Every structure is written in C-alpha cells, then in structure tokens.
Amino acid sequence: MNMYLDSFALSGRVALVTGATEGVGQYIAFGLADAGADLVICGRRRDALASVASKISEYGRRVETCAGDLTELREIERLKSFVLERLGRLDILVNSAGYAVTKPAWEVSEEDWDQTLDISFKGLFFCCQILGSIMRQQNYGKIINLGSTLGRATVAGRAVYSGIKAGIAHLSEALAVEWAADGVRVNVLAPAAVMTPSRVEILKGKFLADMLNRIPLGRLAEAGDLARAAIYLAAPASDFITGQTLYVDGGLIAHG
C-alpha cells in the first residue's frame, strides 16, 4: 500500500459535475473519472451530455447523465433524487455551470444581470444546499465551486462576472465554516484564462499577449491543469482543506 499516493485516488467515490458539456467542466469530469470516480454529469443539452458520457465510459467508469436547468430549484431536487436512485450516494460535487456577459458595465441590461446571477450564483448556491444535503447525511463530502482570478483581479467588460466570482469565493468560505460540523468541505478552484477548444478563437491576438504578460509562468492554463487540481480537492488527500480558494493561474494573482 502506498499510503500517500493512494490518498489521491477516487475509487469508490461518486462525483457530480454541473456544466459538464464543454470547457472546464467537461475536462474536470474526465479527470475525476481517470482518478477512479463514477460520474453523474449535468447540463442543458442532452446530445452534448451523451457525447461527454461516451468519452467518460472509455475510462471504465460508470457514468449517468441528467439534463436540466439548474436555475430552477425543482430541477435540482429532481437531480438529487436521480443521484440517490441511480448511485445511492454523492461524495463530490463540482459546480462548474456558469454564464458570462462580456460588455462594458454601462451597457449591461437587467436581462444580462438576471441571467448571469441566476445561472452562476443562485444555481450554484442551491446545488450546494440541495445536493450537499446528501453529503450531510453521510457526514462526508467535497464541494468544489468554480471561481476565477477575476474574483480578485479585473478586466474591462467583466464587471458582473467579476463580482459574482468574488461572491462565490466568500460564499464558499461561509459554507465551509457552517458545514464543517457536517463533514462537508467547500473549496473554490479559480483559474485564469483556460485554453480549451471552445476558446481558441477568443484567446488570441492582443488579448492573449496581454494575458501572457500578466502570468509569470508564461502560458495560459490548460484543461489538464484544472483537472489535476480538482482531483486533489476531491480526494482524501485534501480532507483537512476547506474554505480555501486554489488559484490555478501561473502566478497571475501573486504578480498583481
């Protein structure tokens, strides 16, 4: 038995990843499966979920899909019932679902505000509450909320997104303190810009040059960087870690 290395394994654990149809959420789901977890993946698009599930099954793990709109509490309750009926427990929750508006703050509409808040903050909180209640009954669980370096640093055009990501970090601290007695750990995974296939067109030119100038390690985050960090926060290796924000940013926040 390799005492320390084994503490990073997720064999026998059940993980649920929201926003798993693309981007960071998808790659975190792949990483958790590779580390041994069985998966429930959630998103709005059934066809996209089926595609991701097919790839996860290649890791030899069980995977279930549940499409739904997580801005609706009844849908989160339905997801909770689905998890319990299909897998009987929940050890890891990754709240990756989100929505971002990129426009000057002067131009943000009420519709922009409501949609961003509902998906990225309201949905996240009630997933923590409703799905976390399974962990409370088990007296053990790991919640990983997807944050961002924009919760600390800012760029033009992302005022609402930045405010919500700062809120997620502080909310997660509050939940970590309140739920520690229930054995539920709550942490935040906060990347800088992540190079995923869906963002190749965005992350180029002057924007890319500006980002690289702010990152001491000289490159953008890759999906695998986030997946490996998520495995750590999900695994027994981090059982004494709660209420923290783990920046996966190549030193951007430290650089200032």
d(CA 72, CA 147): 21
Token pair of 33, please? 């499966």
Task: Give the per-residue pLDDT at 155.
Answer: 84
Task: Give the per-residue pLDDT at 205.
Answer: 63
Q: Residue 12 half-sphere exposure, CB side, CA atoms within 13 Å? A: 5
Q: Which fold has domain 9-192+222-245?
A: Rossmann fold (3.40.50)
d(CA 248, CA 148): 9
4, 99, 140, 161: the active-site residue: 161
Task: Give the per-residue pLDDT at 8.
Answer: 96
Task: Give the per-residue pLDDT at 197.
Answer: 60
Domain ranges of the chain: 9-192+222-245
Task: Give the per-residue pLDDT at 22.
Answer: 85
Task: Give the per-residue pLDDT at 13.
Answer: 98
d(CA 196, CA 21): 13
Task: Give the per-residue pLDDT at 203.
Answer: 58
Task: Give the per-residue pLDDT at 219.
Answer: 87
Task: Give the per-residue pLDDT at 161.
Answer: 94
Task: Give the per-residue pLDDT at 128.
Answer: 98
Task: Give the per-residue pLDDT at 199.
Answer: 56
Q: Tens digits of per-residue pLDDT, 79-108?
A: 999 999 999 999 999 999 988 888 999 999
Secondary structure of the chain in HEC code, one letter for each residue = CCHHHHCCCCCCCEEEEECCCCHHHHHHHHHHHHCCCEEEEEECCHHHHHHHHHHHHCCCCCEEEEECCCCCHHHHHHHHHHHHHHCCCCCEEEECCCCCCCCCHHHCCHHHHHHHHHHHHHHHHHHHHHHHHHHHHHCCEEEEEECCHHHCCCCCCCHHHHHHHHHHHHHHHHHHHHHHHHCEEEEEEEECCEECHHHCCCCCHHHHHHHHHHCCCCCCEEHHHHHHHHHHHHCHHHCCCCCCEEEECCCHHHHC
59 tagged catalytic: no
Task: Give the per-residue pLDDT at 201.
Answer: 56
Counting as low any pLDDT under 50, the low residues of the chain are none
